[in-house]
Structure 1
Amino acid sequence: MFVPARHFLLILILFTLSAPVLGQTPPAVIGSRAEVTTWSDPLDALGTLRADESVTLSATVTDIVTEITFQDGEQVERDQLLVRLDDSEEQAQLRSAEAISDERRNALDRSTQLQARNLAARADVEDFQAQLRQAEADIQALQARLANYQIRAPFSGRVGFRNISEGTLVTPGLALVTLDKLDIMKLDFSVPESYLGRLSTGLSLSATTAAYPDDVFSGQITSIGTRIDPISRSVDLRAELENADGRLRPGMLMEVIVQQRVRQAVVLPEAALEPSGDQHYVMVIDQRDDAPRLERREVAIGERRYGDVEILEGVAEDELVVVHGLQLARDGLEVRLLGIVDDETGIRALLEANR
């Protein structure tokens, strides 16, 4: 009997749609559970690192370097001696001042003893007291001047390259060595003024740098600028990053992501979404019966981040959705669940385990 081509095509389509009913193996899928996690709207910016404390040490007097006590890049402690200048002349003046002080102290003692026996005038004792105070003031002045011949670290940190040697004649203002406190880094960046209302101190952020592309550094905003730049219409912000291992260095360029509007949200992998025009759908795996079946649902999505998507409506916490095998998934179709992805098990591992 002759069958028209259009009837034959209709029969073929009906046979294909009824294949699962006729005993075909249900398609295999991999699922992922909807999780409620901390979520935020990312704000991207570029920033520059600065040391928590930074100074270029220089001399305040003109003299010759007699001692250098540090090596390039060495970690030094607060008040540690770094450079000593020739202070032999000032040391001699100090010894002379101390001798004069001792002499005047002895004169005062003798005068005090005589005055106690009414053998000296009270005015003489007062004169000797004034002379002793003058000698002690001279000693303090010389000690203060001697401090200028010793360059010490004002805080604990790491020194840079030294560009001087013993015997170098230094003058006031000549840079001797840099000192940076690197255990905490300051990250300066700017964002458009339109975001000012969403920002506050304490907001978390993450930062990456080309020097360590696989690492993410976390920190918090510590201060917000008091002025808006009238040209760029941006506001400056400063954050602090922990740098206990010392890998971050001043001057590094960093890509910054500020976490705004921190909230709890239902999150799914982006691979679970089926876009259709302006709508988005997911395939929910219904496990209430012995045979898992699919239910197609429309969802409202929020922000996307790192392969995940925020679900505003349509899926509840802990529901199971398809993230692999969507090309064969249909509403109401019975499926074979190969496994559920999580932080420790990915899609590749589940596929290899079910070969």
Structure 2
Amino acid sequence: MKHGNVIFSGVGALLLAAAGTAWWQWPVHVDTALPTRGPAIEAVYATGTVEPTVLMPVSPRTGGRLVSIEADEGQQVKRAQVLARVESTDLDQTIEEMRAREQLARAQFERTRSLIEQRFVAPAEFDRVRSEWQAAQAATRRAQAQRDYNQLVAPADGVVIRRDGEAGQFVPSGQAVFTLACCAPLRVSAEVDEEDIARVSVGQAVTMRSDALPRQLFEGTVAEITPKGDPVSRSYRVRIRLAGAPPVDAGPMRSGMTMDANLIVSRRDGALLVPNGSIKGDSVWLVVEGRLHRRQIVRGTVGADRTEILSGLSDGDAVVLAPPDKLRDGQRARTDAPSPGLAPGTPVAGR
């Protein structure tokens, strides 16, 4: 019995050893891809809004009820054209009162001048009534100017891009009823995080996309950077000049559209690129003559799909895609023909 147990123990050990050897030598199936060459673009990401270069709000100086609306959104207007009228009943009555006083003062002035010529009154009386007449004239002009403020007029030629008021509505002093755009095409105003603003400079190239116009790619350059940032949002405003910017009312780009902007910091053409999922830490797995080998790499720009490799790889290396954690160096590997990876020429944008 003891002899039989020894035989069975030896057979079990041999089976375990054989199973371990088979497990060790059994090839693991992996998918591979070859690195590609393409541009590696390092960029600062920002979100912006399309806006007119010149924006002119029009608001009443004094609060009042809108009596009439003379212009509407999208309408071209001329300088000094009346856009709306604010109720001015009290001022109309004040002007009538001032004109009556002015007429009385003028009549007194004419009578006094006649008496002066006849030497019936002293010259000082003439000076007094003349001053009263001039004061009445000034009061009338002041009342007329105040009534004119109740007419909202266009400060320059332009197009009405927004109207915030209806006839009969009360409008407080200083609240914009119309917003006009004129004199210049559209631009993009973007907010750049304070951590990235040091890498942004005037004249820097910008590429932009909008969800409203998904099939179009817009180009531009940085035109202005505000010197003071917003301490709440911790960002700086950057104004971008659009290449071939359309007029305000040309379309399809419209004021108020949001833009995803990439402010180009650097661009390297012909960079070596691999899919992001093939990288584990600072290394990748390669299949060389049917065996797995771990390779240390130095990464460059990291994009949404691919990563630039500065050193550690060459064009013909078969890189394992999505390598599992259980891979071992020297392990046999079984793979199909390496995939060419992503389409060559797809840019990598770092944020």
Instruction: Judge conservation of contact 1:45–1:255 (CA < 8 Å) in 2.
Output: yes
- Offset, 1:210: 1.4
**Which of 224, 227, 231 pairs up with 2:226?**
224
| Equivalent residue number for residue 236 of structure 1 | 236
| Equivalent residue number for residue 209 of structure 1 | 210
What's the TM-score, normalizing by structure 1? Answer: 0.53
Distance 1:69 1:139, change over 3 A: same
Instruction: Judge conservation of contact 2:209–2:259 (CA < 8 Å) in 1.
Output: yes
What's the TM-score, normalizing by structure 2? Answer: 0.53
Q: Is the aligned partner of 1:148 residue 2:153?
A: no
Unpaired stretches in structure 1, ≥5 consecutive residues: 1-38, 272-277, 279-300, 313-325, 327-355
| Equivalent residue number for residue 254 of structure 1 | 259
Structure 1 residues 234-264: Cα deviation after superposition (integer angstroms, max 9, x where no partner): 4312214444135444442211121336xxx
| Equivalent residue number for residue 286 of structure 1 | none
> Which shows bigger deviation, 131-140 or 252-261?
252-261
- Offset, 1:158: 1.8
> Which shows bigger deviation, 140-149 or 121-130?
140-149
Q: Distance in 2 between matches of 1:109 and 1:47?
A: 68
| Equivalent residue number for residue 158 of structure 1 | 160
Distance 1:219 1:76, change over 3 A: farther
Q: Give the letter for the 2:126 counterpart.
A: V
| Equivalent residue number for residue 125 of structure 1 | 126
Q: Give the letter for the 2:83 counterpart.
A: L
Unpaired stretches in structure 2, ≥5 consecutive residues: 1-39, 274-282, 284-298, 311-315, 317-351
| Equivalent residue number for residue 170 of structure 1 | 170
Structure 1 residues 281-317: Cα deviation after superposition (integer angstroms, max 9, x where no partner): xxxxxxxxxxxxxxxxxxxx98799xxxx9x9xxxxx
Q: Give the letter for the 1:74 counterpart.
A: Q
| Equivalent residue number for residue 192 of structure 2 | 190
Structure 1 residues 130-177: Cα deviation after superposition (integer angstroms, max 9, x where no partner): 211220221122112212321223453324356523xx2535359684
| Equivalent residue number for residue 101 of structure 1 | 102
Instruction: Judge conservation of contact 1:49–1:185 (CA < 8 Å) in 2.
Output: yes
Q: Distance in 2 between matches of 1:249 and 1:111?
A: 67
Q: Distance in 1 between matches of 2:98 and 2:137?
A: 8
Distance 1:220 1:94, change over 3 A: same
Q: Give the letter for the 1:187 counterpart.
A: S
Instruction: Judge conservation of contact 1:76–1:159 (CA < 8 Å) in 2.
Output: no
Q: What number of residue pairs does the alignment pair up? A: 250
Equivalent position SS for 2:166? coil
Instruction: Judge conservation of contact 1:159–1:177 (CA < 8 Å) in 2.
Output: no
Q: Distance in 1 between matches of 2:134 and 2:171?
A: 33
Q: Distance in 1 between matches of 2:235 and 2:97?
A: 59
| Greater percentage in strand | 1
**Kindly, what percent of the aligned residue pairs are identical?**
18
